[in-house]
Structure 1
Amino acid sequence: MYVAILTSKPNTEVLRTETKPRHDAYWEEHLGRIRFGGPILSDDGKTRMGQILLLDVADRETAERIVTGDPFVEVGCFEKWSIHRYRLSVEAGRLT
C-alpha cells in the first residue's frame, strides 16, 4: 500500500474547473485501487491545499503511474507530489 501526498499549485481554480470532468472520469476507472482519498483544505474549508490518496497497489511504480496519469497532475495543478510506502495501523476505530 502507498500514500500519495500532493501539494496544490496556487491560482489553479480555472484550470481545475476545466479539467475536472477528465479528472473525475480518470479516478472512476481506478476506484478499486483507492482505499481513501480526497482534498486537503484550508482551515476555512474554501481553499484546496492539496490531495491525499491511499492506493492499494503492490509497488511504487504502479502508484506513480496512477498518480501521474491524473489529468490534474498532467496539466500542472500540483506544484509537487510524493509517494511513500504505507502501513495501515488503525481503520474504522480499530487497530489493524
Structure 2
Amino acid sequence: MLFAILCNDKADHLQLRLDTRPAHLDYLKSLGDKIKFGGPFLSEADQKPTGSMLMVEAETIEDAKAIAAADPYALAGLFENVTVRPWNWVINKPA
C-alpha cells in the first residue's frame, strides 16, 4: 500500500535541513523501491525548502510511520509536524 509522508519544517531551521541533507538522502537510498517519489516543499517567496513529501510503499501505516520516524531529518528535530496518510495512485500511474 502507498502512504504519503507530509512534513513541515520548523521555522528558521533551513541550516539544519542543509546540514542533515546528505544523511537524509543516504537513508532514502537505503530504502530502495519502498520510496516511490518525493521532494521538498518550497516557499513561495524565495523557493527555499520548507518541508518534505515522500510517497512510500509499506505493508501498514505503522510501517510507514516507522520509515518517517527513522529519517535523519526527523531524528535531527527538523520537522514541526509529520502526517502519514494512505494514498491511492489513480492518474498517470506507472505500469
TM-score interval, normalised by the smaller of the two chains? 0.7 to 0.9
Q: Tell me how far apart the structure 1 counterparts of residues 87 and 33 of structure 2 sit (CA, whole Å).
A: 17
The two structures, once aligned, show a CA RMSD in angstroms of 1.9
Match of 1:5? 6
Measured at CA, do residues 45 and 38 of structure 1 come closer, stay the same or move farther in structure 2, by a change above 3 Å? farther
Runs of 4+ in 1 over 4 A off after TM superposition: none
Q: Please name the residue that 1:53 is paired with.
A: 54
TM superposition score normalised by structure 2 = 0.87
Mark the runs of 5 or more structure 2 residues left unpaired by the alignment.
Answer: none
CA–CA distance in structure 1, aligned partners of residues 46 and 3 of structure 2: 26
Residue 76 of structure 2 corresponds to which residue in structure 1? 75
**Post-superposition shift, 1:44?**
4.4
Count of matched residue positions in the alignment of Structure 1 and Structure 2: 94
- 1:63 equivalent to 2:57? Answer no
Distance 1:65 1:81, change over 3 A: same
SS in 2 for 1:90: coil
Q: Name 1:25's counterpart in structure 2.
A: 26
Q: What is the TM-score normalised by the length of structure 1?
A: 0.86
For structure 1, the residue ranges without an aligned partner over 5 or more in a row are none
Could you tell me how far apart the structure 1 residues matched to 2:51 and 2:32 are? 19
Which secondary structure state, in structure 1, belongs to the residue aligned with residue 41 of structure 2?
strand
